Amino acid sequence: MIRLQPYQRQQDARGSFLGITQDSWHEVNLVSTAAGAVRGNHFHRHTREMFCILSGQVTIDLEDVRTSARSTFEAGPGALFVVEPFERHTFSARTDCTWLNFLSHPFDAADPDFHQHHAGTVVDTDSGGHAHATKVAP
């Protein structure tokens, strides 16, 4: 996970401007999450995701599924960060939250890049919604 800083911030009598990114992203989503809800708990093999928290407070749990390295951090309005491939990410909303989600690859229902990791086993879901388990090295 990489924490980012806005490339530009401005504020005056009219309001404020926050420069989020100058990178290219292929898909952008607006996500609203109710307090107490959990999202994610998956990783991607190919897709990078950037998040910009717009409102609310969220706890983010990360695990590199290749090394089992774990980290947790709190994020609030203005937080910017990138989740890299093979980082399992779980978002727990402490309050009602809204964030922007940027993807390096657009979602493809025929080949979804969503994977679960459970105790040394990767569970992939195919386009038909069928789960396939594969053992991975510890």
* Residue 11 identity (one-letter amino acid): Q
Where residue 66 sits, what CATH number does that domain have? 2.60.120.10
The answer to whether the beta carbons of residues 87 and 41 sit under 8 Å apart is: no
CA contacts within 13 A on the Cβ side of 131: 8
Tell me whether residue 36 is in a domain: yes
Residue at token pair 């510890």:
138
Tell me whether residue 51 is in a domain: yes
Domain count, the chain: 1
Tell me whether residue 135 is in a domain: no
Tell me whether residue 71 is in a domain: yes
Say what the pTM is: 0.79
Alpha carbons 50 and 28: distance in angstroms, whole number:
9
CA quadruple 98, 108, 132, 137: dihedral, nearest 10: -70
Closest CA to 103 of 27, 44, 52, 29: 27
- pLDDT one digit per residue (tens) for the chain, 138 residues: 788 888 888 999 998 888 888 888 999 999 999 999 999 999 999 999 999 999 999 999 999 999 999 999 999 999 999 999 999 999 999 999 999 999 999 888 888 888 887 655 544 454 444 444 445 444
Tell me whether residue 86 is in a domain: yes
Q: In which domain, by residue range, is 10 found? A: 2-109
Tell me whether residue 124 is in a domain: no
Alpha carbons 36 and 95: distance in angstroms, whole number:
7
